[in-house]
Structure 1
Amino acid sequence: MKKYLIYLLILSCIFVCSCGQKKNQQQGEDAEAEAKMIVSGEKWLDTDGNAINAHGGGILYHDGTYYWYGEYKGDSTYWNPKVPSWECYRTEAGGVSCYSSQNLVDWKFEGVVLPSDTVNESSELHYSNVLERPKVIYNDKTKKFVMWLHVDSHDYAKAAAGVAVCDTPNGKFEYLGSMRPNDAMSRDMTLFKDDDGKAYHFYSSEENKTLYISLLTDDYLKPTGQFTRNFIDQSREAPAVFKQNGKYYILSSGCTAWDPNQAEYAVADSIMGQWKVMGNPCSGKDANITFYGQSTNVLKVEGKKDAYIAMFDKWNKTDLIDSRYIWLPIKFSGDSIDIAWQEKWNINEAFK
C-alpha cells in the first residue's frame, strides 16, 4: 500500500511539473507573440531600449533588410513666432536617422546618417533650419542610395528639396545641395520607384495648394523637367505613394498644420495620368481625423501578396520628439482601399 501511495505521489509530482512547464512555455509564447504585435500610438523602443526617433519617415527594403529613415527630432520643442500664419512648433533639426529590421517589429538604431550642421549657420543643414520627410530609394544603375528631403529655412520660406547619396543604406550620406524642382516650391514630399526603374518625386507646391509629380533623371539626382500638376487648389500634403495590381495610389492629408484632419486617396492607371479622387480610406474609431495621424509612407511587405502597411505620424505639437507612430494594414476591394483602426495587430496574421 505504501509503495502504491508513493507511486501515485511521484506521478502527481510529474504531472504538476509537466503542467507548470507547459504553462510557463505557453506564457512565454504568449509574451513573444505580444511583443511582435504592432500597437499604434504607443512609445516604440529600439533594440537598445531607446525611443525610436524617425518622424515623417519612409522605409526602404534592400537585400533582406528594411531601413527606416526619419526626422531625428531634438528634445526641446518651441514655437517660432516668426511664422504667424500657423502654429509653427518645431525642434532643432537633428538630421536624418536610420533604423534597420528584418521583421518590421524589432528595430536597430543605425545612427544619424545625414547629420545636421551644428557649426556653420549658413549651411542648409544647420540645426536652426528645417529638415523633414526624408525618403531613400536605391538606384540599380549607379549603385547609389539616393535620399530626397524637404529642406527649408526656419520660417518655411525657402521651400526646397535637398538631395544626398551614399554607397550603403546605413552609411553617412553626402549632401549634394537643394533646389526648387521645376522652379516650383517643394515642401512635404515622397519618392516612388516604379517597376521599370524610373523614379518620381511627389511634392506639395504653390504654397501647398497643388501636388507635383516629377520624373527624375536616370541617376535620381535631378528633375527631368517632365512633371504634372495635380489636385490643383485642393491643398493636399503628406503624400504617400504605392502601386498594387497595376494601379497607382496616392494617400495624402489636408493642410491643417500639426492638427489632424481627414485623409484622402486617389487612384490612377498611369503615374503621370489622370488621378481619380476616391475619398477617405480610413474606417473605425476617429477615421474622420485619420486616427489623430498624418500619412507619411506606404510600405510593401516583402514576400507576401497584396501586403501593404499605411504609416502615419501621430504628432505631438508641443513635444515633437514624443510624437508617436500609427501603422495599419491596407485591405483592397477592386480599386478601393480600406484602412481600418486596430488597437493592435500582427503582421503574419494580417497578411496570411
Structure 2
Amino acid sequence: MSAFHSQVSIARIENNGKTLNQITDFNKTTQIKGTWYGLKLHETPSGAFDKFTISTSTDNKTTWSTPTVVLSNEDLTNKGEDQHEDYTRSKLAAVKWLMCPATGNLSIWAKRHGIDSNNKIIPRKELLRAAVVGSGKTPADRYTDSIIIDLPYGNVSGDLGEIVEDGKLYLASADTQQGVVHILELNDECSDIKPNGPLLSLQWFNDDNSIDHREAPAIFRENGYLFMMTSGKTGWRPNQHKYTYAPSVKGPWTDHLIPISDSTAYHSQVFGVKRIRSSNGSGHSSLLFSGTRNAATWNGKDNRNIWMPLYFNTDTNLATNYYDRITLDEEKGTVTGYQLDHGTQLSIKNTVLQGFQDDVTALTDNDLSTFWYNNNHSDKKTLTFDLGEAQRIKAIKLKQFDQYNNKVDVSLRTPRLKVEVGNGQTFTPVFEDIVGSINWLQTINLPEAHGQYLRLSLIENHKGNSSGTTNDFGFYEVEIWGNKYSPSPQLHAGFDTPETGTLPQGWEVIRSSGTSASVIKADIGGALQLQDNNNNGRVVASHTLTPQKGARVEATLRFKYNTSGSGDYIRLMSGKKMLINIVNSVKHRKLAITDNRFNETAIASINNDTWYKLRLVMNTDANTYDIFLNDRLIWGGAHFAEAASFIDNIRIGTATKESGSVAVYDDIMIHGPIQ
C-alpha cells in the first residue's frame, strides 16, 4: 500500500507546494484488484473530526466517484474507556490506513485528542482504530467496528508509523512525554494491540546525555534493513531529521541516531517516505521523502510540502538533497531532482530602505556572516534594489536573519514576503507568499519579469508554533538572478592541441623531483598525465577560473589510474578552502571522498587502467553535491568539506608518500552561473 500516487504517470512537483491534496486530493490511496480507493479526512471549521470519506476509481485515477462516508464523529459515541468523555468531540492526526496481513481487512488508525466544550484540545493522546470487517465487505463500506484505546499500556499515543514484518502488523507510536518510540504489535486480526506491553521501547540520547525526543516516525525496508526516520520534538518548528536502522522490527536498532538533510530538514518536519514502483514490469523502484512545512508555524492553514529523492549511498548510508523541483515517473519508478534556470547573478548597484537612511550594504557584500536587521521596527519593512538598467529577472536568493533573543534558530520565524519589479515609479507584484527559512542561501523562483528595480517587502512574520506575528525583517545576503544562462563552460581542457608537450595556458604545475606533468597521446586523443616516482614527493596541476556559484554548477572529467589505491586526488577549491576532495584511496583501494580532516568515505570501486567519466553536480547555495560515475548516480547529497559560496579552482595531484602513480585526465569541464 502506498500513501502517495500522482494523478498522472509523470508528475513534476515544485517544492513549497501548497498541500499534498493538490496532488492527490486524498490523505491516503490504495489499489485493490484493479480499483483505486482514496481516503479523505474531513474536519469542521473549528478543526474537529467530522468524517472520513472514500472515493473509488476504475480508470487509473483519472476520474473518481462521489465520496461515500465510511466513518463519522457520531460513530465514536461511547467507544472509549472513559464514560464521562464525549468521544464525538475528537481531533484526529497521524492517520494510517492499513491492511491486515492475515485477514485482508482495512482499518483506520489515528492519534486522537479530545476537545472540550470551549473547543480547546485536551492534551491527552489516545489511539483510535476503526475497521471494515465481514465477508464481502469492500474498503468503501462503513467502518463500523471502532474502538478508542485511551492510553496504550498507559503511554500516550503520538505520531504513528507502520511496519509489516513476517505477516504481522506493528505500529511505531511516538510517546513525546517520555521521549520514547514504542513498537506496538497488533493481534492477528489487527483489531487491537497485543496485551503485556510494547514489543520494544526505543530511546536515544544527545551528547549531553539529555533525552533526544523524537516524533513522526516514517518506516520503510531497504537493503535488508528497516529504517526509521524521525523528526525532533519542536512543536511544528523545523528541526534536524535523524534515522536509525535494524535488521528486523525486534532489533537491534542503532543506539545512536544519524542526521540526514540539513539542520532544518529544508524547513520541514518528516511527513513520510514513499516507494515509487515502476509500472512497466522492470521491478525498479525509488524512494521519495516528503516533509511538511506545517501551517501551524504561520496562519494555521495552507500546509506546504517538500519532496526529495532519497539516496542510499551504501546499504545503511541514507541521504537526500534539495532541488527546486522533482520529477516522478511512475512508469519507470524513478524520482529525479533538478534545479530551474535562474540565469546568472545580476549586479546590484544600490540598495535603499524605504523611508530611512540605514546602512544596508551588508545585504549585497557577498559575505554570509554580515547582516542587516530591522530590530522588529514596524516601519522598516521595504527594501528597493537598483540594477542600474532594466534586466530580465528570474529569481531572488536570500539568507534570512535568524538571531532572536540572543538565540540563533532559523526556525523561529516564518515570513510572508512580497516581491515587485518595476521602473522606480510603478511596480508589478510578481511574488507574495510564505517563505520557509532555510539556513543557507535559498532561492525564490519568480515568474520572469523585466525591470531596473526590485522591491522586497515584509507583509508579516510569524513566530514558531502559532505564537503570534512580529515585524522582524532582515537578511545576511540578497542576490538577484536573471537574464540568460549560458551553459558554455568556464573551463574546457581537452588537451588535444598541442597533442604532446607542455600543458595549455592557464594550468600551473607544482612538482617534486621524480615527478612530471605533461600532455601525452592517449587512446581518446590528447590527455594530461601526472606521473609520480617519488615516494616523498608529489605533482599537482591546477587551474584558476572565474568564480562559479549557484544552485547548479557542474564539473566533469575523464580519468584513469594505473593502480587502484595510489592516492591520486581531484579537488575543487574556493580560494584556500577545499570544498570537494575525491581520492584514489590508499586505505580503501576504492574511489573515496573526504571531509576537511581527510577522513575518507569509500564511494565506488574502480579498475586499473580503465577510463571513467566523473560528473559532479554542485549546489553552492546549499554546499551540497551529487556524484555521477559513468553517468550513474553513485553518491547523493554529499556536503562540501568546507563551507563556501563559489568555486574558483580545480587541482589534480598525486599523494606525497606514494610512488609509481600514473594518473591520466581528459575533457575537464567546469561550468555554471558566473558570480
- The TM-score, its normalising length taken from structure 1, stands at 0.71
Name the structure 1 match of 2:130.
164
For residue 184 of structure 1, what is the amino acid of its counterpart?
Answer: N
Task: Output one character per residue of 1:97-155: Cα deviation in whole Å (capped at 9) or x when no partner.
Answer: 557789999795846643334997954242xx221111011124323102211012233
Match of 2:144 among 148, 168, 174: 174
**CA 1:219–1:107 in structure 2 vs 1: closer, same or farther (change >3 Å)?**
farther
Name the structure 1 match of 2:323.
342
Match of 1:136 among 58, 77, 97: 97
**CA 1:320–1:33 in structure 2 vs 1: closer, same or farther (change >3 Å)?**
same
**CA 1:107–1:164 in structure 2 vs 1: closer, same or farther (change >3 Å)?**
farther
**Equivalences for residues 25-44 of structure 1 within 5 A:** 36-43=11-18
Aligned residues: 295
Distance 2:322 2:114 in 1: 36
1:204 is paired with a residue of what secondary structure?
strand
Name the structure 1 match of 2:218.
240
CA contact (8 A) 1:75 1:321 kept: no
Specify every segment of 5 or more residues in structure 2 that has no aligned partner in the other structure, as ranges.
1-6, 79-84, 116-120, 205-210, 337-675
Higher-Rg member (1/2): 2
After TM superposition, give the deviation of residue 329 of structure 1 in Å: 2.0
Name the structure 1 match of 2:155.
184
Match of 1:222 among 192, 198, 206: 192
CA contact (8 A) 1:133 1:296 kept: no
Distance 1:310 1:164 in 2: 28
Match of 1:279 among 245, 252, 258: 258
More strand by share: 2
**CA 1:265–1:132 in structure 2 vs 1: closer, same or farther (change >3 Å)?**
same
After TM superposition, give the deviation of residue 336 of structure 1 in Å: 1.4
After TM superposition, give the deviation of residue 185 of structure 1 in Å: 1.4
CA contact (8 A) 1:72 1:112 kept: no
Matched, 1:116 2:73: yes
Distance 2:311 2:70 in 1: 34
1:301 is paired with a residue of what secondary structure?
strand
Name the structure 2 match of 1:307.
286
Match of 1:322 among 295, 298, 302: 302
Distance 1:227 1:333 in 2: 31
**CA 1:39–1:102 in structure 2 vs 1: closer, same or farther (change >3 Å)?**
farther
CA contact (8 A) 2:243 2:259 kept: yes
Distance 1:342 1:236 in 2: 26
Distance 1:242 1:207 in 2: 25
1:160 is paired with a residue of what secondary structure?
strand
CA contact (8 A) 2:326 2:335 kept: no
After TM superposition, give the deviation of residue 230 of structure 1 in Å: 0.4
CA contact (8 A) 2:242 2:257 kept: yes
1:240 is paired with a residue of what secondary structure?
strand
2:153 is paired with a residue of what secondary structure?
helix
1:157 is paired with a residue of what secondary structure?
strand
For residue 219 of structure 1, what is the amino acid of its counterpart?
Answer: E
Specify every segment of 5 or more residues in structure 1 that has no aligned partner in the other structure, as ranges.
1-31, 77-90
2:212 is paired with a residue of what secondary structure?
coil
Distance 1:36 1:244 in 2: 24
Name the structure 2 match of 1:10.
none
Distance 1:45 1:100 in 2: 18
| Aligned CA-pair RMSD | 3.5
**Equivalences for residues 77-92 of structure 1 within 5 A:** 91-92=47-48
**CA 1:119–1:125 in structure 2 vs 1: closer, same or farther (change >3 Å)?**
closer
After TM superposition, give the deviation of residue 60 of structure 1 in Å: 4.2
1:182 is paired with a residue of what secondary structure?
helix
After TM superposition, give the deviation of residue 297 of structure 1 in Å: 2.2
Matched, 1:249 2:212: no
Matched, 1:93 2:49: yes
**CA 1:206–1:309 in structure 2 vs 1: closer, same or farther (change >3 Å)?**
closer
**CA 1:309–1:105 in structure 2 vs 1: closer, same or farther (change >3 Å)?**
farther
Matched, 1:290 2:265: yes
After TM superposition, give the deviation of residue 95 of structure 1 in Å: 3.9
**CA 1:115–1:323 in structure 2 vs 1: closer, same or farther (change >3 Å)?**
farther
Distance 1:171 1:247 in 2: 36
After TM superposition, give the deviation of residue 231 of structure 1 in Å: 1.9
CA contact (8 A) 1:69 1:134 kept: no
For residue 141 of structure 1, what is the amino acid of its counterpart?
Answer: A
**CA 1:313–1:220 in structure 2 vs 1: closer, same or farther (change >3 Å)?**
same
CA contact (8 A) 1:213 1:229 kept: yes
After TM superposition, give the deviation of residue 61 of structure 1 in Å: 4.9
Match of 2:237 among 235, 259, 281: 259
CA contact (8 A) 2:158 2:176 kept: no
Structure 1, 94-103 or 270-279: larger mean CA deviation = 94-103
More helix by share: 1
Distance 2:218 2:111 in 1: 14
**CA 1:65–1:231 in structure 2 vs 1: closer, same or farther (change >3 Å)?**
farther
After TM superposition, give the deviation of residue 242 of structure 1 in Å: 0.6
**CA 1:165–1:299 in structure 2 vs 1: closer, same or farther (change >3 Å)?**
same
**CA 1:328–1:51 in structure 2 vs 1: closer, same or farther (change >3 Å)?**
closer
CA contact (8 A) 2:176 2:215 kept: no
After TM superposition, give the deviation of residue 258 of structure 1 in Å: 1.7
Task: Output one character per residue of 1:27-55: Cα deviation in whole Å (capped at 9) or x when no partner.
Answer: xxxxx999821223223586xxx78665x
For residue 152 of structure 1, what is the amino acid of its counterpart?
Answer: H
For residue 254 of structure 1, what is the amino acid of its counterpart?
Answer: G
1:288 is paired with a residue of what secondary structure?
coil
Distance 2:236 2:335 in 1: 32
CA contact (8 A) 2:227 2:246 kept: yes
1:219 is paired with a residue of what secondary structure?
coil
For residue 260 of structure 2, what is the amino acid of its counterpart?
Answer: P
Distance 1:105 1:311 in 2: 21
**Equivalences for residues 147-162 of structure 1 within 5 A:** 147-154=108-115, 155-162=121-128
CA contact (8 A) 1:182 1:223 kept: no
1:307 is paired with a residue of what secondary structure?
strand
Distance 1:65 1:299 in 2: 20
Distance 1:118 1:218 in 2: 24
CA contact (8 A) 2:76 2:146 kept: no
CA contact (8 A) 1:254 1:263 kept: yes
Distance 1:333 1:161 in 2: 37
- The TM-score, its normalising length taken from structure 2, stands at 0.39
**CA 1:204–1:264 in structure 2 vs 1: closer, same or farther (change >3 Å)?**
same
Percent of paired sites with the same residue: 19
Match of 1:199 among 143, 162, 169: 169
**CA 1:343–1:105 in structure 2 vs 1: closer, same or farther (change >3 Å)?**
farther
**CA 1:206–1:297 in structure 2 vs 1: closer, same or farther (change >3 Å)?**
closer
Task: Output one character per residue of 1:235-270: Cα deviation in whole Å (capped at 9) or x when no partner.
Answer: 111111111121001111111112111111111111
Distance 2:104 2:244 in 1: 32
